[in-house]
Amino acid sequence: MKVIIVSKRHGRTRSLSFGGWTRAVVSACLLGLPIVGAWIGTELARGDGSDIFTSDSTKVWNEALAEQESQIKTTKRDAEEQLAALTLRMAELQARLLRLDALGERLTTIAKLDKGEFDFSQVPAVGGPESVDLGEAYQAPDFLDVIGQLTDQIASREQQLETLEALLANRKIQRDVFLAGRPIKKGWMSSRYGRRTDPFNGQIAWHSGVDFAGKLGSDIVAVAAGVVTWASERHGYGKMVEINHGNGFSTRYAHNTDNLVKVGDVVKKGQVVALMGSSGRSTGPHVHFEVYKHGRAVDPAAYIHRTNR
Ligand SMILES: [Zn+2]
């Protein structure tokens, strides 16, 4: 065998001659390498790790992979659904907070309260020195953080509204127990408080209340909120209602044709407590109205004419 080697640079050639043995070795090298390679490959595939690559195990693997893939898909879908639900919940919370704020502002306005104390348009005051820059990039607040903040805000608003409600209720009670106005809706004052000629015997007598005349059966109303302490006949008064308003005040409504409340009833200001009549020592349909201050009858005129607070 003769092998000619041509030099690329100089165009010169060299020829080498191989003998029988050398030729056999070179041929074996050239042909044998791929065969040996293929054999090693096959052997490797069939070797100790051969189970991994059989068609059966591949099938099992593929099935496992497909199952995992489907699990991942399910998990992702669940996560997406949960995220959607959370987003909705958060939007609901924000809407509720807005409504609470609007309610709070309206109440503050109605109650003519100092805005500084109940400012629903502002976020609760928080602060603190500027924190050390941690060198981290801004990250959108976590869902749970946002929901936590919203919950805190709602709790704070609830507290403010409760305080506001208590304040308003207190004011309403004060206003309602404040004696003011007439004990009737329709009618006229027929007799004043004080010294007068008694309509039955013509003698000078003390009139301990004010009389309002009107139609038989017309409404008699409480001039303030209170608790009924008398609701029956009383000598001279006929059918009478007495209401205790607290703070040492009580009122009496007498000569009724009918009492509409009973002892222990809590009555509101302006509530109809009896119907006008002429029971007892009376010459015609009227209500004899008395005001007691610490157990002593006083002139009701001052209370009748004062305006509601
Ligand atoms: Zn009278």
Give the list of residues 6+ apart from residue 211 with CB closer than 8 angstroms, or none: 189, 190, 191, 286, 287, 288, 289
Q: Coil, strand, or helix at residue 53?
A: helix
In angstroms, rounded to a whole number, what is the distance separating the alpha carbons of residues 122 and 295? 51
How much distance in Å is there from the Cα of 107 to the middle of ligand 1?
43
| pLDDT 10s digits, 139-173 | 556 777 777 888 888 888 777 777 777 777 777 77
Q: Are 243 and 225 in contact (CB under 8 A)?
A: no
Give the list of residues 6+ apart from residue 273 with CB closer than 8 angstroms, or none: 220, 221, 222, 228, 241, 243, 253, 259, 260, 261, 267
Domains of the chain: 1-32 (no CATH), 71-121+141-176 (no CATH), 188-305 (2.70.70.10)
In angstroms, rounded to a whole number, what is the distance separating the alpha carbons of residues 70 and 62? 12
Q: Tell me what pLDDT residue 141 has.
A: 61
For the chain, give the mean pLDDT.
Answer: 80
Q: Which is more confidently placed, 141 or 275?
A: 275
pLDDT greater than 80 at residue 131? no
How much distance in Å is there from the Cα of 234 to the middle of ligand 1?
14
Beta bridge partners of 292: 250, 297
168-174 contacts, C-beta under 8 A, 24 or more apart:
168/107, 168/111, 171/111, 173/225, 174/309
How much distance in Å is there from the Cα of 288 to the middle of ligand 1?
4
How much distance in Å is there from the Cα of 179 to the middle of ligand 1?
19
| pLDDT 10s digits, 215-274 | 999 999 999 999 999 999 999 899 999 999 988 899 999 999 999 999 999 999 999 999
How much distance in Å is there from the Cα of 267 to the middle of ligand 1?
23
pTM above 0.75, yes or no: no
How much distance in Å is there from the Cα of 243 to the middle of ligand 1?
17
Q: Tell me what pLDDT residue 284 has.
A: 92
pLDDT greater than 90 at residue 137? no
Name the pairing type of β-strands 194-197 and 226-234.
Answer: unpaired
Q: Tell me what pLDDT residue 159 has.
A: 79
| pLDDT 10s digits, 1-51 | 565 666 666 656 666 565 666 666 656 556 666 666 666 666 655 555 555
pLDDT greater than 60 at residue 136? no
How much distance in Å is there from the Cα of 211 to the middle of ligand 1?
5
In angstroms, rounded to a whole number, what is the distance separating the alpha carbons of residues 120 and 124? 9
Q: Tell me what pLDDT residue 208 has.
A: 94
In angstroms, rounded to a whole number, what is the distance separating the alpha carbons of residues 182 and 162? 34
Amino acid at 164: L
C-alpha 242 chain-centroid distance: 42
How much distance in Å is there from the Cα of 55 to the middle of ligand 1?
115
How much distance in Å is there from the Cα of 205 to the middle of ligand 1?
11
Q: Which is more confidently placed, 13 or 58?
A: 58
Amino acid at 139: Q
Closest to 240 measured CA to CA, from 270, 276, 204: 276
Instruction: Give the helix ranges, DSSP H, for the chain.
Output: 20-46, 55-110, 143-176, 301-305
